Each structure stands twice: as C-alpha cells, then as structure tokens.
Amino acid sequence: QVLTVDSGEVKADVMVVLGGGLRERPERAAELFKQRAAPKILVAGFGDCKANGQLLEKSGVPETAIVLESKSRTTRENAEFSIPLLRSLGAHRVIIVTSWYHSRRALACFEHYA
C-alpha cells in the first residue's frame, strides 16, 4: 500500500486538516505541529482552506509547512483530491484532523482512496 492511515498517537509525514467551518480543527493541527507530530499540514476544503491556513500561520505554523487543497466540497472529495497531493509529498503516514463525529466517515473515505 502506498499510503496508510493510522488512528492513535503517531508521528506522521503529513497532517490533513479537513474543512467544516470549525476553528478547533486548525487549532488542534497547530498544537500537533508544535509537538512535531508532522512537518507538513495539508489543509483541505473549498471555502475553508484559506482561512484555516491563515489561522495555522497565526498559530505559529510557517507558511512553507502548509499546503492548500481548495477544490473539495465533501468528505469524499477531501480524500479524493488530497491523496494525489499526499503522494506527491511522499507521505506514507497521515494524521487526519477532524471532529470526533466526522472521524469515521473521513477515515473510510481516505482508506478508500488510498
């Protein structure tokens, strides 16, 4: 498998922050970045990604560590459009940053497209 998705506390190659209009997701990703959980953050989601990217920068994440995916409008598209970007970044381990109630669907979508 080119890309695997794990749950639990792991070090990863990239974090993926899914959109949804919630500040908690980019805030949590910034915390994890500061803990060195991953050196890159992919921010996904039409409409949310620029604001979430700016929030990450304001939280101390350097612009060079942030990659934006701004076309996806659904969880399925988050995964479908993010997987090629993750592959281009050489990612094998990924942390998906989302809300608890969204995590099952997000994981299923990313596993499907991985």
How far apart are alpha carbons 79 and 83 in whole angstroms? Answer: 6
Q: What domain range is 75 assigned to?
A: 4-113
Q: Looking at residue 97, what is its pLDDT? A: 93
Q: Residue 60's domain is classified under what CATH number?
A: 3.40.50.620
Cα distances from 23 to residues 26, 44, 68, 78, in angstroms, run 6, 14, 16, 18
Provide the 3-class DSSP secondary structure of residue 17: strand
Q: Looking at residue 100, what is its pLDDT? A: 84
Q: What residue has token string 């969204």? A: 102
Q: What residue has token string 């749950």? A: 7
The number of domains in the chain is 1
Across the chain, which has 114 residues, the per-10-residue mean pLDDT values are 54 93 88 95 93 96 97 96 97 92 91 91
